[in-house]
Structure 1
Amino acid sequence: MERRAYYRNGTLPWLLIAPQLILVLVFFYWPTSQALYWAFTLEQPWGGGNSWVGLSNFLSIFGDGRYWATVGRSAFYAIAATGISMVIALTLAMFADRALKGTKLFQSVFVWPYAIAAPAAGVAFRFIFAPEAGIIGSINEMWPGIWNPATNGGHALAMVIVCHAWLGIGYNFIFFLAALQMLPRSLTEAGAMDGARPFQRMIDLQLPLIAPTVFFLLIMNLISSFTDSFGLIDVMTEGGPINSTEVMVYKLYVDGFKGLDYSGAAAQSIVLMLLVIALTFVQFRWVEKRVHYN
């Protein structure tokens, strides 16, 4: 039987939720309304307010080849970072889930990357992948020019993707390990008794049973790749070289705050927001209904 809480004082519930409502209004709905206003208007030359232009800002960005290149780059970035992070996290969770000596230590160590701020990790990885220092520097001495993210766009994009994937391993590891520990041990033990090797047990038994967790992390990692890559790119490459690491979230920053094209940047932010809403809709409306344990 469902029980509900009732307040005799009608103002008390509103006072309790007022701080959260204020935060949502100030930091979400108000910026969103301003972005919508700028996306459908254009500032007059030399001031004088904004004029309504309808869909002109959206048509302008959709007709820009550089913007579509950024969209394609963002999609590749999201898929690559998500795939690398989830595969490594799942592999580590499979090993850490086994009842072996020292497993608890590894379970705690694998979570640490999630606690590191993205700009700090970006600075560290920028030094690690520097072409003139460390292992990379030694390799460049043997094969000059084989790695240089300062001049090669593919190298720079790969460096940022690896850093982003590394940051997400801890988050994915927590969910994968929790999902694996919820599975009955009798299933994997029965598979082992039937002669199934660890990899075969993972593919045939464990992975299908943790499918809801896999799809949940897939959506969350894709959203993170589209929205949380700004700090890494700004610290590591600043969108270069020659815009080769410029993704959607960084391009709207460059256009809005450096190019002073507020209307175009606002239109790009609306497109990015709709993309995130679409991914969230897939998560709550499709994945949770279609993926189950049966």
Structure 2
Amino acid sequence: MEKRAVFKSWWLPILFALPQILLILLFFYWPAIAVMKWAFTLEPPFGGVAEFVGLTNFDEVFADPFYWNSVAVSLIFALCGTCFTMLVGLVLAIAVDRRLPGSGLFRFLYILPYAIAGPAAGMAFRFILSPERGLMASVNAAFPDFWNPAKYGAHALILVIVIFAWKWTGYTFIFLLAGLQSVPRSLTEAAAMDGAGPIRRAIDIQVPLLAPTLFFLLVIMMTEGFVGSDTFGIVHSTTGGGPNHGTEVMVFRIVDEAFKGLNYSGASAQSIVLIGLIMVFTFIQFRFIEKRVHYK
């Protein structure tokens, strides 16, 4: 019979839990309550008494065409970044799972980019893919303006998506490789004996059995694409939201609105809308996509 720890005094477990409770209240609930308050008031940037304005901040946000542009950019960034990251991570995990010579070294190399900070990765790729001196300079010499993220918003958006995928592929690789190692070898060996090649075995056996892991990564990566610190760091260090608001994702716009424009109330209203958008996407994922996931 398993023994359970029993505290004789009621205050002792509360005392042990008090530091964690204080941290949660200080860094989670207090900021959340402050954002809710600022979203419905006009908060002076340099201090003073806040004025209750109701839904005025939300009306101003929804009437701004640049805000809807940031919503569209965030949707494209989160969807494309998530799909590309998971696809590359899955391919790498399947390749390493075959246990070919040198696979241990490749495990380390694939995970390594995840340890690099998002702003540092953005700065590195900003020079690597620079249209003047980087790898694309020779391509631009033959085809002028074939690649110019400083001029074209679509090119800049592709650039930040590539950086995001490069940074987070190692994260998805870890989970997918662990999931592949739990797949019974007898299934893949039987399929190989029946003449199924590596691609057919991956599509028919390995990927279906990875459904729970893929669903978990889908939820995590979509959330990271919308509100992750790396999303802001990559955009801030690489394009600064430009050119012409082409990479101005919602989280970057919120920070820029609050700390550069000193519009705390408008930024708070945008934060609440962003949280609501994430909740909607999470609900859709659990409501419609999870039905296709089999855990047994």
Q: Normalising to structure 2: TM-score of the pair?
A: 0.92
Equivalent residues in 2 for 1:15-54, closer than 5 Å? 15-43=15-43, 48-54=48-54
Q: Answer whether contact 1:118 1:167 (CA < 8 A) is retained.
A: yes
Alignment partner, residue 183 of structure 1:
183
Alignment partner, residue 108 of structure 1:
108
Aligned length: 294
Separation (CA, whole Å) in 1 of partners of 2:29 and 2:3: 32
Shift of the 273–45 alpha-carbon distance from structure 1 to 2, 3 Å rule, reads closer
The offset of 1:65, in angstroms, is 2.1
Shift of the 279–198 alpha-carbon distance from structure 1 to 2, 3 Å rule, reads same
Equivalent residues in 2 for 1:1-294, closer than 5 Å? 4-43=4-43, 48-228=48-228, 229-280=231-282, 291-294=293-296
Q: Answer whether contact 1:119 1:232 (CA < 8 A) is retained.
A: yes
1:84-128 per-residue CA deviation (whole Å, 9 max, x = no partner) reads 111000000001001222111111211111111111111101111
Shift of the 112–47 alpha-carbon distance from structure 1 to 2, 3 Å rule, reads closer
Separation (CA, whole Å) in 2 of partners of 1:46 and 1:169: 42
C-alpha root-mean-square deviation of aligned residues, in Å? 2.2
The offset of 1:2, in angstroms, is 7.8
The offset of 1:3, in angstroms, is 6.3
The offset of 1:292, in angstroms, is 2.0
1:173-221 per-residue CA deviation (whole Å, 9 max, x = no partner) reads 0000000000100001111111111111111111111101001101100
Q: Which structure 2 residue ranges, 5 or more long, are not aligned?
A: none
The offset of 1:67, in angstroms, is 1.2
Corresponding residue SS for 2:51: strand
1:201-258 per-residue CA deviation (whole Å, 9 max, x = no partner) reads 1111111111010011011000001012111111101111111110100111122221
Corresponding residue SS for 2:74: helix
Q: Answer whether contact 1:233 1:245 (CA < 8 A) is retained.
A: yes
- Amino acid of the structure 2 residue aligned with 1:273: I
- Amino acid of the structure 2 residue aligned with 1:68: W
Q: Answer whether contact 2:176 2:213 (CA < 8 A) is retained.
A: yes
Separation (CA, whole Å) in 2 of partners of 1:124 and 1:134: 11
1:147-193 per-residue CA deviation (whole Å, 9 max, x = no partner) reads 11111111111111100011110000000000000010000111111
The offset of 1:22, in angstroms, is 1.8
Shift of the 186–47 alpha-carbon distance from structure 1 to 2, 3 Å rule, reads closer
The offset of 1:15, in angstroms, is 2.2
- Amino acid of the structure 2 residue aligned with 1:136: M
- Amino acid of the structure 1 residue aligned with 2:262: L
Corresponding residue SS for 1:134: coil
Q: Answer whether contact 1:41 1:52 (CA < 8 A) is retained.
A: yes
What percent identity do the matched residue pairs reach?
52
Q: Answer whether contact 1:150 1:156 (CA < 8 A) is retained.
A: yes
Shift of the 4–45 alpha-carbon distance from structure 1 to 2, 3 Å rule, reads closer
The offset of 1:271, in angstroms, is 1.4
The offset of 1:144, in angstroms, is 2.0
Separation (CA, whole Å) in 1 of partners of 2:163 and 2:55: 37
Shift of the 47–178 alpha-carbon distance from structure 1 to 2, 3 Å rule, reads closer
Separation (CA, whole Å) in 2 of partners of 1:45 and 1:109: 46
Separation (CA, whole Å) in 1 of partners of 2:80 and 2:45: 42
